[in-house]
Amino acid sequence: MDLNAIYLVSDSVGETADLVIRSALFQFETENYQLKKYSYVQTPEEIDAICAKAGEDEKAMIFYTFVQKEMAAYMQDRIEKAGLIGVDIYSPVMKGLGQLFQLKPLEKPGINRQLNKEYFNRVEAIEFSVKYDDGRDPRGIEKADIILIGVSRTSKTPLSIYLANKNVKVANIPLFPESKPPKEIFTIAPERIIGLVNSPKKLNEVRKERLKTLGLPPSASYAGMERILEELEYADRIMKQIGCEVIDVSNKAIEETADHILHYMDVMNISRKQL
């Protein structure tokens, strides 16, 4: 059986079309398709060749992203003349934003990938979050935009990196009864600290999996319910002492928790520091 051909055509890398279509494909329980990606399409002749190739497939559909309206219009015209099915992903968005801002778009392909100030800020934030991960250096507490605290396996590190990709400088501090937390977390503004908690059942599950990956028996005290409850009780005392925001991550994806934190930062008017 021939696979349905899905063409992704762009005047740049084509990340937008790729992300949109792959996300939509998750809603269909089928693998009866083949993605055919065409990046950096710059001329009408290239569009002609792509449409001709799509016409040779038994079943084909073209999704395209062109920031130049002339190229988008040409693609649409060629699709209609070839009797193909096509979807313009960018043009409705560009038109809507143009109406909103009362401005004309720049129509420069790949402009979002240029090395600009935002890009370097993001790299800096990632490097910061790696440097001050897992309480390695308490000096990061005073330099960070946000400090995450919590017991082991509450997603502190992946959340730090995710937020760093949003240009947020994050330091994270593990909490466990045998070690006092850095004194700095009691001296900075409590609104800059986020406490992360997880359910005992979830912690038991993820810690057992962690022990397996380390080649250790799942019966180790690290994953034991008694130990988990002890740690959670200790962390709860610390968080109440600080008076910080607390998020239960037990039923949240990293993205959900990050969105909660970003919204919290906006509400609390927490600005991002410059290093």
Residues 40 and 73 in one domain: yes
Residues 135 and 92 in one domain: no
Residues 137 and 261 in one domain: yes
Supply the pLDDT for residue 116.
67
Whether 16 has a binding-site annotation, put simply, is no
Least confident residue range of 85-89, 104-108, 147-151, 234-238: 104-108
Supply the pLDDT for residue 47.
97
Residues 163 and 132 in one domain: yes
Supply the pLDDT for residue 3.
86
Supply the pLDDT for residue 113.
64
Query: What percentage of the chain has pLDDT greater than the value 70?
Result: 97
Residues 10 and 60 in one domain: yes
- Judge whether residue 115 has pLDDT over 70: no
Residues 24 and 55 in one domain: yes
**Chain mean pLDDT for the chain:** 93
Domain that holds residue 17: 4-113
Sign of CA dihedral 152, 158, 162, 164: positive
Whether 187 has a binding-site annotation, put simply, is no
Supply the pLDDT for residue 271.
80
The pLDDT of 70-74, averaged and rounded, is: 96
Whether 156 has a binding-site annotation, put simply, is yes
Supply the pLDDT for residue 202.
95
- Judge whether residue 134 has pLDDT over 80: yes
List the one residue out of 173, 160, 86, 93 whose CA is nearest residue 128.
Answer: 160
Residue 226 sits in a domain whose CATH number is: 3.40.50
Supply the pLDDT for residue 252.
93
Residues 82 and 159 in one domain: no
Residues 155 and 261 in one domain: yes
How would residue 60 be classed by pLDDT, with cut points 50, 70 and 90? very high
Supply the pLDDT for residue 227.
96
CA distance 203 to 153: 7
Structural domain ending residue among the three candidates 54, 82, 113: 113
Identify the residue whose tokens are 């935009």: 145
Structural domain ending residue among the three candidates 59, 79, 113: 113
How would residue 274 be classed by pLDDT, with cut points 50, 70 and 90? low
Does a structural domain hold residue 273?
Answer: no
Instruction: Give me the number of domains the chain comprises.
Output: 2
Does a structural domain hold residue 144?
Answer: yes
Whether 219 has a binding-site annotation, put simply, is no
Structural domain ending residue among the three candidates 66, 96, 113: 113
